[in-house]
Amino acid sequence: MTDDVCEGARRGPRRRHPLAEHHALTEHRIELADQAHRLLSISTDRYKRDRALNALRAWGHDTSALENASDIAARELHARMADPDLWWASNGTGDCAEDPPF
C-alpha cells in the first residue's frame, strides 16, 4: 500500500466525495459535464441520473431543463424524507400531510 493509503487508514473514516470532485479532475469538468448531459439525455437509471444531476448542480450548472418528471418527484421525495417533522406528520408514508387542494 502507498503511504497515502496507510495514512488515510490511520486517520479513520473521512467524508466521502464523489470522484468527479477530486482535485486532479478539476481541469476535466467541462468534459465531465458534457458526459453528464449526454447521460441525462438517454438514461432512465435513477441512480445515474441523480449522480449526474448532483454533480452538475455542484459545479454551478442550471439543471432545470435536464430534469424530467421522475427526477423532480425523486428530489421532492428525498427532501420530504430529509425533514423528520414532515416525515412523521405524513405517518412515514412519504406523502404530504396536507389534504390535496381539490
For residue range 64-78, what is the model confidence (pLDDT) as tens digits?
999 999 999 998 888
Distance separating alpha carbons of residues 93 and 18, to the nearest angstrom? 30
Can you give the pTM of this predicted structure? 0.60
Please identify every stretch of the chain with a pLDDT value under 70, giving residue numbers as ranges.
1-20, 86-102
Distance separating alpha carbons of residues 74 and 51, to the nearest angstrom? 12
Look at residues 76, 65, 19, 73 and name the one whose alpha carbon lies nearest to residue 40.
65
pLDDT for 41 equals 94
